[in-house]
């Protein structure tokens, strides 16, 4: 089984400093839905792993998060892609939970659900915490320069072996080649 793990905000959809709090605010990054289709059609199981501290902060509730994710799943399907699962951490940024990236709990949960070792599995994100979580489970950290990606790329201390692509479409083209 081929598996790929995607962060959501800044990778699949445009991010917002005020959080994505409704389906109306969720807007795909150009080419990201087609990239998901390319990965799906290339035999990958596409799994989303996303921190959603807006729940813990009381900015939106589970029904709203489900509606946002429903929209994302439908739009990916309309582009010919499939999102196999969505894992999320609902806790606020100051939480000591194990599921909030950069901690690897969410990725370990994915490994358990799919009964898969994550060594070398592509894990695509736009922030250092996405890359750190990937490195913690021996997944392949991949940085995209959308969202916070450009700022992340300028930082010191990216995990060794991090691959860098302009966006999810470029990363998918490389993976599904």
Catalytic: 126? Answer: no
Place of tokens 């700022």: 151
Q: Return the bridge partners of 68, or none.
A: none
Q: 116, 84 in Cβ contact below 8 A?
A: no
**Cα distance from N-terminal residue to C-terminal residue, the chain:** 17
Catalytic: 9? Answer: yes
Q: Round to whole Å and give the CA distance between 171 and 169.
A: 5
Alpha-carbon radius of gyration of the chain = 15
Q: 120, 137 in Cβ contact below 8 A?
A: no
Exactly one of 9, 15, 130, 167 is catalytic; name it.
9
Exactly one of 7, 15, 126, 130 is catalytic; name it.
7
- Which residues have a catalytic role annotated? 7, 9
């Amino acid at each position: 089984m081929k598996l790929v793990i995607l962060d959501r905000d800044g990778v699949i959809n445009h991010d917002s400093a005020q959080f994505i709090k409704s389906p109306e605010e969720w807007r795909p990054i150009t080419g990201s839905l087609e990239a998901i289709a390319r990965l799906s059609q290339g035999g990958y199981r596409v799994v989303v792993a996303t921190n959603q501290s807006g729940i813990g902060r009381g900015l939106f509730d589970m029904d709203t998060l489900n509606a946002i994710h429903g929209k994302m799943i439908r739009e990916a399907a309309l582009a010919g892609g499939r999102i196999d699962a969505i894992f999320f951490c609902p806790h606020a940024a100051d939480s000591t939970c194990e599921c909030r990236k950069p901690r690897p709990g969410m990725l370990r949960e994915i490994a358990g659900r799919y009964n898969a070792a994550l060594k070398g599995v592509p894990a695509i994100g736009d922030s250092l915490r996405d890359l750190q979580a990937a490195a913690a489970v021996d997944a392949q950290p991949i940085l995209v320069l959308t969202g916070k990606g450009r700022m992340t790329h300028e930082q010191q201390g990216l995990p060794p072996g991090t691959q860098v692509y302009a966006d999810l479409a470029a990363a998918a083209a490389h993976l599904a080649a």
